[in-house]
Amino acid sequence: MKRLVFEPEHEQLRATAKEFIAREVAPYADQWIADGQVDREVYKKAGDAGLIGFNMPEEYGGGGAGDDFRFNAVVVEEFARFGGAAPGLSLQNDVVAPYFANLANSEQLTRWMPGIASGETILAVAMSEPGAGSDLAGIKTAAREDGDHYIVNGSKTFISAGINSDLVVVVCRTNPDPAAGHKAFSLLVVERGMDGFERGRKLDKMGLKAQDTAELHFTDVRVPKENVLGEVDKGFYHLMQNLPSERLSIGISAIAGARAVFDETITYATDRKAFGRSIGSFQANRFTIAELATELDIAQQYIDRCLQAVVDGEFTAVDAAKNKWWCTELAKKVIDRCLQLHGGYGYMNEYRVSRAYTDSRIQTIFGGTTEIMKDIIGRDLGF
């Protein structure tokens, strides 16, 4: 089904992303998986290619695309089609950079944005803690005022780009009053090399082996007040403002990755013979393939409608929740069915479907679990 949401300039960026992946990602993917992280130089190369910072202001070295999330979408789709060994450009472009673009003051923009736009500066956001995941109100990492600094103490876990990152947006409790509720948190930018900031172990995950995920520890880290993003004690609301685009990006990635696995499965089901015929020609398998093809097309149409809603200024947090839970759950289903169609070969890591099976599992968890997404939708309906 023809997609109508993109303009020629978006497809030009898609072509750039495809060429970049073939040249700068595919030849090194196996090594990055073995190393447990990508080479940080690939971020600089991506910046040179225009795949980072395309929506940031031109005066800071960006591409000036502004709020047109369709540019983000084509980059997300192409890297998702390649698979989990790709660098986390979506984290940089869709998740963390918007905090800087939307909240940074002019001095902070001048100080940080050129490096972010060029790929010289790698970003991370630190929300989750050993005792606080979906429950952000349970965050215990604290920032205490001390003159013109905040003193940060605490630990974070499951932090994507935790090893490579240069700037980490840390969600801290700045108001110790339990009655403050959501008005107790601020976003502080902790920089690589600050005294007391330590990176813990690189976590051994079941999937996304090339993406560095780590624990972060803060012991009396002195963070200047100039590193506060947005307003003090308004961090929770800043997070809520940016989460819809993150969730849309995850949904886009989920369906693009599942579609790539499905396309390879079609080839496999055509070439693989059993009892003298292709396995795809058996009625049970044919019905499965037909079902998956239909559901992927439906999900793609909803994604494109969401992208158009972003362009029109109509995209809501509830739209993002619907997109995120449906697309990620569907991706799990599609990849699981595709693995089944591969039989024993699907269990072998040399086949893409095996790696995709473990890589995709996190998508119904990070960025807000399926259960949290359904809760958002249900509350919007008055329940």
Looking at the fold, whether 111 and 181 belong to one and the same domain comes out as: no
Residue 308 domain-assigned (yes or no): yes
DSSP string computed for 4-41: -S--HHHHHHHHHHHHHIIIIIGGGHHHHHHHTS--TH
Q: Which of 160, 266, 274 is nearest to 208 (CA)?
A: 160
Residue 321 domain-assigned (yes or no): yes
Looking at the fold, whether 332 and 372 belong to one and the same domain comes out as: yes
Residue owning tokens 């839970």 = 325
Looking at the fold, whether 313 and 204 belong to one and the same domain comes out as: no
- Rounded alpha-carbon distances, angstroms, from residue 162 to 7, 165, 220, 364: 35, 6, 19, 21
The domain boundary residue, chosen from 67, 99, 121: 121
SS3 152: strand
Residue 1 domain-assigned (yes or no): no
* 268 Rama sector, left if φ>0, alpha if ψ -120 to 50, beta otherwise: alpha
Q: Which of 263, 206, 250 is nearest to 33 (CA)?
A: 206
pTM equals 0.94
Is the predicted pLDDT of residue 4 greater than 90, yes or no? yes
Looking at the fold, whether 116 and 132 belong to one and the same domain comes out as: no
Residue 291 domain-assigned (yes or no): yes
Determine the pLDDT at residue 310: 96
Looking at the fold, whether 115 and 189 belong to one and the same domain comes out as: no
Provide the domain count of the chain. 3
Q: What is the CATH number of the domain that holds 346?
A: 1.20.140.10
Band of the pLDDT at 132, cuts 50, 70, 90?
A: confident
Looking at the fold, whether 277 and 185 belong to one and the same domain comes out as: no
Residue 283 domain-assigned (yes or no): yes
Residues 180, 208: Cα–Cα separation, whole Å: 37
Looking at the fold, whether 271 and 372 belong to one and the same domain comes out as: yes
Looking at the fold, whether 361 and 264 belong to one and the same domain comes out as: yes
The domain boundary residue, chosen from 51, 86, 121: 121
Residues 272, 62: Cα–Cα separation, whole Å: 47
Looking at the fold, whether 211 and 294 belong to one and the same domain comes out as: no
Q: What is the CATH number of the domain that holds 56?
A: 1.10.540.10
Looking at the fold, whether 314 and 348 belong to one and the same domain comes out as: yes
Give the CA angle between residues 375, 369, 217 to the nearest 5°.
Answer: 125
Residue 237 domain-assigned (yes or no): no
Q: Which of 94, 110, 228, 248 is nearest to 171 (CA)?
A: 228
Determine the pLDDT at residue 382: 97
DSSP string computed for 247-272: HHHHHHHHHHHHHHHHHHHHHHHHH-
Determine the pLDDT at residue 87: 79
Looking at the fold, whether 305 and 326 belong to one and the same domain comes out as: yes
Average pLDDT of the segment spanning 142-162: 96
Residues 40, 131: Cα–Cα separation, whole Å: 30
Residue 3 domain-assigned (yes or no): no
Q: In this structure, what is the dihedral angle of CA atoms 172, 76, 166, 112, given to the nearest 10 degrees? A: -90
Residues 27, 45: Cα–Cα separation, whole Å: 14
Q: What is the CATH number of the domain that holds 140?
A: 2.40.110.10
Catalytic residues: 246
Residue 260 domain-assigned (yes or no): yes
Band of the pLDDT at 193, cuts 50, 70, 90?
A: very high
Looking at the fold, whether 14 and 64 belong to one and the same domain comes out as: yes
Q: Report pLDDT digits (tens) over 35-92.
A: 999 999 999 999 999 999 998 889 998 888 888 999 999 999 999 999 877 878 899 9
Higher pLDDT, 264 or 55: 264
**What single-letter DSSP state applies at residue 148?**
T
Q: Would you say 356 and 335 are in contact if contact means Cβ atoms under 8 Å apart? A: yes
Give the structural domain span for 19: 8-121
Q: Report pLDDT digits (tens) over 197-254.
A: 999 989 999 999 999 999 999 999 999 999 999 999 999 999 999 999 999 999 999 9
Q: Would you say 186 and 145 are in contact if contact means Cβ atoms under 8 Å apart? A: no
Q: Would you say 54 and 62 are in contact if contact means Cβ atoms under 8 Å apart? A: yes
The domain boundary residue, chosen from 232, 251, 285: 232
